Structure 1
Amino acid sequence: MSKPDHHATLHADFRWSVPEKFNIAEMCLHRWARDTPAAVAILQDGGNEPAVPFTYASLQRDAHRLSNALGSLGVTRGDRVAIVMPQRPQTAVALMAVFQMGAIAVPLSVLFGAEALQSRLVDSGAKVAIVDEASADAIEALREACPALLKVMGAGAADSAGDISWSGSLAAARDEFEPTDTRADDPALLIYTSGTTGAAKGAVIPHRALIGNLSGFVASQNWFDGDGPFWSPADWAWTGGLWDALLPTLYFGRTIVASRARFDADLALKLMERHRVTHTFLFPTALKAMMRVAPEPRTSHPKLALRCIMSAGEAVGEGVFAYCRDKLGIVVNEMFGQTEMNYVVGNCGQFRSTSGRRVPGWPPRAGSMGRPYPGHRIAVIDDDGNECPRGTAGDIAVHARDVHGDRDPIFFLGYWNNERATHAKFAGAPFESWCRTGDRAVMDDDGYLWYQGRSDDQFKTSGYRVGPTEIEDCLARHPAVAQVAVVPKPDAERGAVVKAFVIAAVGVVPDAALVDELQQLVRSRLAPYETPKDIEFVDALPMTATGKLQRNVLRQLEIDRAAGKINA
């Protein structure tokens, strides 16, 4: 007997309610500091040491002090503040402090190398950077190249680094602050996403996007009920860590576990046991690693309290789906979204009716991305912007207006200083038509989407989206490199790894030492996940008649090699 399907009813009954005035800090911090001040907002994992709790009241006190401190440094409404820290309470405090000032937070990953950090700091024009021990040295080395960066504040073990200290600034500041009156459409975040050509693009995210994110979050977390904590290894500098974990957890006044430890499958399972984590977001790569170290997780980790798993970043696949269902006892909810409009498609194993009774949402299907979450109008479109017949591959697109004709609040405001790229994102008039995601899929007769790959040159590795141009530009600066092309190489564990095809400069004899040197170059300038795991030296690269690089030919070559159709 098939399970009930409530997808159509959920969409028909769902209506957006977006107030004119709205601020993320009010919804994620202030109201809980008033109503449940002693509730734990963030639990800092201590590994073998006791965890350290941070209440909503303490976060608000520190956020108010930091807002006053930033104001004394000249930060005002609309100014950009870079936050270059991993999962830690200070990161959340910094975000809330910036939000309530009406300024714009620029979260940057501590994994970024010098070049990636510099390009984003320069492009954003960040006035202040808040760093800790993981990023202080890298930011300090870039000061002269970032003229808009006036002050660097050091936190954590880097409290004495930079121009001013976190602890000293907060100690000297008042713990009362009058939040800025922001509109729902005002910008809150500037998050950089890798582009296929040129520099990375900065997506400007408004406060209202939090509202647009919530229907997908609660659906993917099977309504997110109970009182257990949430945890995800996703970096809070990324859309996955911010919109899929930190901000929605705080919106509901719940507890999120923070951990600065590098991901390790066994340690992750122990962390979730230790804190009795009930809800999580785990990349398929992380779940695959757990499959290896814990083939029988309920036996090896009997204290696991997991009730729901959302997974995104790459295709879950039938193997991971079966592991979660059969070994963890949880039907994983796959999700799909982008920085520009997150949490738009996915699965929901169960939903809760208005009476409080738990009922099925729509049955997840192994290998499928899922269906549109309530409030989002999704289609597969062709090159002309027309909807494709069911069963025909095309671009996944999100319409600026939902099925009722109301504006979808999930949308970004545009790309920072890049109006041309903003217009190119849409099939018609910007923010009035279909917005292309750049991912291809087939929609079946029941409305489920089946992923077909990227429609451009971007790809994902271990859950991180990678644009090849930035890596190619980095490699091309090495004197031993004449030309280079970067594509994904299929990988069973990571989905794909970075592969570089290189034409060596005249007179250069490639060897293992050169491969290592090129890998170190990318790792030092960009990020570890952007480092080519495989470098192949070739005599020529495929080009069009007009001299354009045909990455699609190289991508297909790697696909055929992985399938055993041709020799590597």
Structure 2
Amino acid sequence: MMDVYEAIERARSRAPHQPFLATRERNLSYSQALDLAASLAGSIATAGALDRPCVIQAIEIDACISVLACLRLGKPFIVINPASPPDRIDYYITDSGANVLVKTAESGLVASSLPCDDQGWRTAVEPASSVSCLIYTSGSTGLPKAVVCPREAVSFAVEAIAQTLSYRRDDVVLTALPTFFDFGLYQLFLVGKAGATLYFASALESGLGLGEALQRTGATVLPMVPPAAEKLARLVERGLSRNAVRMITTTGAAMDEGTRRTLEDAWDPPVDLRVMYGLTECKRVAIMPPYESTRRPRSSGLPLPGTTVTIRPHDQDLVLSPDEVGEICVEGPHVMGGYHNQSDLTARRFRRTSHTVVLRTGDTGFLDADGYLYCLGRDDDQFKVQGYRISTSEVVAAAKAAGGVVSAAVVPPAPGRRYTLFFEGDAEPAALSHFLSEHLEPFAIPQHIQKVAHLPTNANGKIDITQLERTQS
């Protein structure tokens, strides 16, 4: 199995002048991008030992160059949102034990040393030198948790996804996905492996200016979360031309049926719509085969080649039969190493047996008789907005830290319903919203904040989320 960086270097050897990373203002060939990565790698190595992570606080091409530099060195990396509040950035640095920070400056990418203790870096995977990256995702304890991604698991996931999606050397993959989101990060890996071109679309180019962007770039593949697919469907209904688009991939939440039909039926020949399901803990679980979503509109597809998906009762090891509903469980070389600094949670979610590791996803679903996976939802307190996983506990904890909030509850979004934070207390919604904007990631900020005299409770004394949902119906 080829290492990700080795695969990208091989793409350069085949076509050094092939465009690799691009925006409207900037275009780097494979040779140019990897030369910049090599130069930055020297600065990173000087700034800190290779046995601790590097935090990358950059976007688009700069983020990609930084990732490539770390891959070249074999140094673990963490890509974070530069727009994150300062206390959240401090948390990422402290929790990860990073010793280097890479940021975009006027002079270009700059690597600087970070203070850290003298003890060796330890994480869920041994040896620590085998770790490719840490990816932070929402946790159930109020703060994000870091999934430890070993190099071998990442390489296997990239190989299996590439085998299934078949990106081509002449593909132009147009994305608005940020690199700190694993769906966006893996676009770099998949494109680089194929020797294709990755184009980062601006907000305008991924919205009303999409038609012009498709025509100008010759984009052939559009990876997007379902809300972006819904916007695309509306543009298609208004007459948007497909130009060279041959495939759309989507993951992060269930796709609306009307959106799916629009994207499949509007163009002739039909576009290859690939619905996918996955989670950071194993990257990808299932992908719909080509042109199959029409026959199985609610399915997320088949498990990745070389992996196994089973359905089991929650907290039981019994494997259920086809069409029986239970917890989706995953086995295979793509299962990541666990959670950084969270051994108890790792033991609960990554169940080790004598011969394998079974990832308990916390998601409910079933397999049909043909092996197609159907995901029905989550059983924990997490939900997704625009493809990003959000923890209700994290949002509630942040709201209570604001002061003037006695109790709070979150109602996730649904068709016809906004993502809403309800609270009791003396705080004012506008002030609370401002506080949350300084302490949560931008995508985690509630779309609506509503103050109530009393939060309803059920017979068990717990906040009655169902009743709160009805107030928005």
Query: TM-score, normalized by length of structure 1?
Result: 0.74
The alignment partner of 1:325 has SS state of helix
The alignment partner of 2:403 has SS state of coil
C-alpha root-mean-square deviation of aligned residues, in Å? Answer: 2.8
The residue aligned with 2:7 is 27
Structure 2 counterpart of 1:314, from 253, 267, 272: 253
Q: How far did 1:129 drift?
A: 1.6
Worse overlay, 212-221 or 271-280: 212-221
The alignment partner of 1:205 has SS state of strand
The residue aligned with 1:248 is 190
Verify: 1:235 aligned to 2:159, yes or no: no
Residues 248 and 159 of structure 1, relative CA distance in 2, 3 Å threshold: closer
Worse overlay, 361-370 or 472-481: 361-370
Contact 2:40 2:109 in 1 (8 A): no
The residue aligned with 2:271 is 330
Verify: 1:441 aligned to 2:365, yes or no: yes
Residues 561 and 446 of structure 1, relative CA distance in 2, 3 Å threshold: farther
Contact 2:142 2:398 in 1 (8 A): no
Residues 262 and 200 of structure 1, relative CA distance in 2, 3 Å threshold: farther
Q: How far did 1:561 drift?
A: 5.5
Residues 387 and 558 of structure 1, relative CA distance in 2, 3 Å threshold: farther
Residues 86 and 532 of structure 1, relative CA distance in 2, 3 Å threshold: same
User: Cα deviations across residues 287-321 of structure 1 (Å, max 9, x unaligned)?
Assistant: 11122334144xx436x210011111111132111
Residues 498 and 117 of structure 1, relative CA distance in 2, 3 Å threshold: farther
CA distance in 1, matches of 2:207, 2:137: 27
Residues 474 and 325 of structure 1, relative CA distance in 2, 3 Å threshold: same
* AA partner of residue 45 (structure 2): G
Contact 1:340 1:411 in 2 (8 A): yes
The residue aligned with 2:93 is 121
1:537-548 aligned at under 5 Å gives the runs 537-542=452-457
CA distance in 1, matches of 2:389, 2:148: 18
CA distance in 2, matches of 1:273, 1:116: 39
Q: How far did 1:516 drift?
A: 1.6
Verify: 1:424 aligned to 2:314, yes or no: no
Residues 561 and 377 of structure 1, relative CA distance in 2, 3 Å threshold: farther
Structure 2 counterpart of 1:277, from 205, 208, 219: 219
Largest Rg, 1 or 2: 1
CA distance in 1, matches of 2:189, 2:413: 34
Residues 160 and 82 of structure 1, relative CA distance in 2, 3 Å threshold: closer
Verify: 1:502 aligned to 2:443, yes or no: no
CA distance in 2, matches of 1:524, 1:379: 41
Contact 1:266 1:294 in 2 (8 A): no
The residue aligned with 1:214 is 158
Structure 2 counterpart of 1:468, from 389, 392, 398: 392
The alignment partner of 1:93 has SS state of helix
Q: How far did 1:162 drift?
A: 9.1
CA distance in 1, matches of 2:148, 2:112: 28
The residue aligned with 2:44 is 70
Contact 2:168 2:194 in 1 (8 A): no
Q: How far did 1:259 drift?
A: 3.4
The residue aligned with 1:131 is 103
CA distance in 1, matches of 2:379, 2:355: 21
Structure 2: 5+ residue runs without aligned partners? 114-125
CA distance in 2, matches of 1:158, 1:487: 44
Structure 2 counterpart of 1:286, from 228, 245, 248: 228
Q: How far did 1:373 drift?
A: 2.1
Worse overlay, 482-491 or 536-545: 536-545
1:157-176 aligned at under 5 Å gives the runs 157=106, 159=108
User: Cα deviations across residues 319-369 of structure 1 (Å, max 9, x unaligned)?
Assistant: 11101111142141100111110122120116xxxxxxxxxx897521221
Contact 1:314 1:463 in 2 (8 A): yes
* AA partner of residue 347 (structure 1): M
Q: How far did 1:44 drift?
A: 2.1
The residue aligned with 1:13 is none
Structure 2 counterpart of 1:371, from 293, 296, 302: 302
Residues 275 and 438 of structure 1, relative CA distance in 2, 3 Å threshold: same
The residue aligned with 2:136 is 192
CA distance in 1, matches of 2:213, 2:170: 17
CA distance in 2, matches of 1:63, 1:542: 55
The alignment partner of 2:350 has SS state of coil
The residue aligned with 2:22 is 43
Verify: 1:59 aligned to 2:33, yes or no: yes
Query: TM-score, normalized by length of structure 2?
Result: 0.88
CA distance in 1, matches of 2:206, 2:431: 27
Worse overlay, 387-396 or 464-473: 387-396
1:397-408 aligned at under 5 Å gives the runs 397-399=329-331, 408=332
The residue aligned with 1:388 is 320
Residues 541 and 127 of structure 1, relative CA distance in 2, 3 Å threshold: farther
The alignment partner of 1:491 has SS state of coil
